[in-house]
Amino acid sequence: MSKFIDEVSISLKAGHGGAGSVHFRHEKYAEFGGPDGGDGGKGGNIILRSRIAIQTLDKFRPDKTYAAEVGDFGRGQKRDGKDGEDLVLLVPIGTQVIDKVTMECIYDFTEEVDFVIARGGRGGKGNTFFKSSTLQAPKFAQPGEPGEEREVLLTLKLLADLGIVGFPNAGKSTLLSKITEAQPKIANYSFTTLIPNLGVVKRQSDSFRYTIADIPGIIEGASRGLGLGLSFLKHIERVKGILFLLDGSRLEIEHDLALLRAELESYDPLIMEKPFLIVLNKVDLWESDPNFTEEIMNQYSQLGEIVPISAEKNINIELLLDRIDQIFFPIETNHERSDIS
């Protein structure tokens, strides 16, 4: 598995344009013929290309200079130089390109697209170009222009529709594995999830889909950099809604939810304006008392809607998916249901 890299600083250098040629025809009976120097080729561009299949920035080497090919120089007999090849760099959707000088966002990749981040230099004109009625034998040509150079910071913020937020061992990875085809690492110890995992939920016989991310690193103090917090809190910024996944075995529902909300709000208050759903996991531990779940729901109803589930035992998973449809995607799912009927 590739190492998850979500921020890297690199240098970019587009290709230098090739120089134009100073050349004159040399023919058998014309020792000094007219000018026939060709133009230089254009320098290659550097293109950032976003693709959904790319998940991380791990292919980039920090502080490396990525350079496109230079344009070839012009030659005699009006032969123009070859243009330099463009350099295409693949990035994940969700990548933001930050200018390291101004710290402004140059581009934000929210879909599969190509973006020219550095343009190659123009090739110089050969002396043929400068021939005129008053200048029959120009003995000069243009040099090629330099390509653009940039220092940029690539930073990745996952583009997911929903984010699962919870403390270590709440069951985020298990839930993700049950409702998507993602296969995150799952074990019973803190910080099993060391990277954000992204999966696709398929609904209505695959006619409607959405993406959901398991956001790791949330502990008390995460917004101050404790645990893995600051490394991954940024991946919750662009989700449309949040699933607060709480550990039912702890029975500290109000306390845990308050801590999670406080950490998100400390990082970015706007996050708390997003719609949310509370998911109480591990209710299979209460099977000996069938009335206990209802009592818990009534006791904490003031916190918001709570869906009790067991990700491990597949209890109420379909109920959870239905509520997600209705709360976060009412237009899409209603449209699909009307089509099906």
Tell me: the pLDDT tens digits for 205-262?
A: 666 888 898 887 565 444 444 444 445 677 788 888 999 999 988 888 999 999 889 8
Give start-end residues of each CATH 2.70.210.12 domain in the chain: 1-156
18 pLDDT tier (thresholds 50, 70, 90): very high
pLDDT of residue 28: 67
- What is the DSSP track for 265-299? HHH-GGGGGS-EEEEEE-GGGGTT-TTHHHHHHHH
pLDDT of residue 222: 40
Pairing of strands 46-51, 114-118: antiparallel
pLDDT (mean) for 290-315: 88
Q: Which is the CATH superfamily of the domain at 1-156?
A: GTP1/OBG domain (2.70.210.12)
pLDDT (mean) for 292-320: 90
pLDDT of residue 221: 45
The number of helix segments (H) and strand segments (E) in the chain equals 6, 14
Per-residue DSSP letter, 79? B
**Residue 305 or residue 26, greater confidence:** 305
**Residue 70 or residue 169, greater confidence:** 70
Assigned token pair, 219: 């502990």
**Residue 182 or residue 273, greater confidence:** 273
pLDDT of residue 106: 95
Class level of CATH domain 162-340: alpha beta
> In this predicted model, what pLDDT tens digit does every residue of 23-60 receive, in sequence order?
998 776 655 678 999 999 999 999 999 998 888 898 99
> In this predicted model, what pLDDT tens digit does every residue of 110-159 receive, in sequence order?
899 999 999 999 999 999 999 998 898 899 999 999 999 999 999 988 77
3-state secondary structure of 35: strand
Give start-end residues of each CATH 3.40.50.300 domain in the chain: 162-340
> In this predicted model, what pLDDT tens digit does every residue of 56-100 receive, in sequence order?
898 999 999 999 999 999 999 999 999 999 999 999 988 999 999
Long-range CB contacts for residues 261-270, cutoff 8 Å, separation at least 24: 263/218, 263/219, 263/220, 263/221, 263/222, 263/223, 263/229, 263/233, 264/165, 264/223, 264/233, 264/236, 266/223, 266/224, 267/222, 267/223, 267/229, 267/230, 267/233, 267/236, 268/233, 268/237
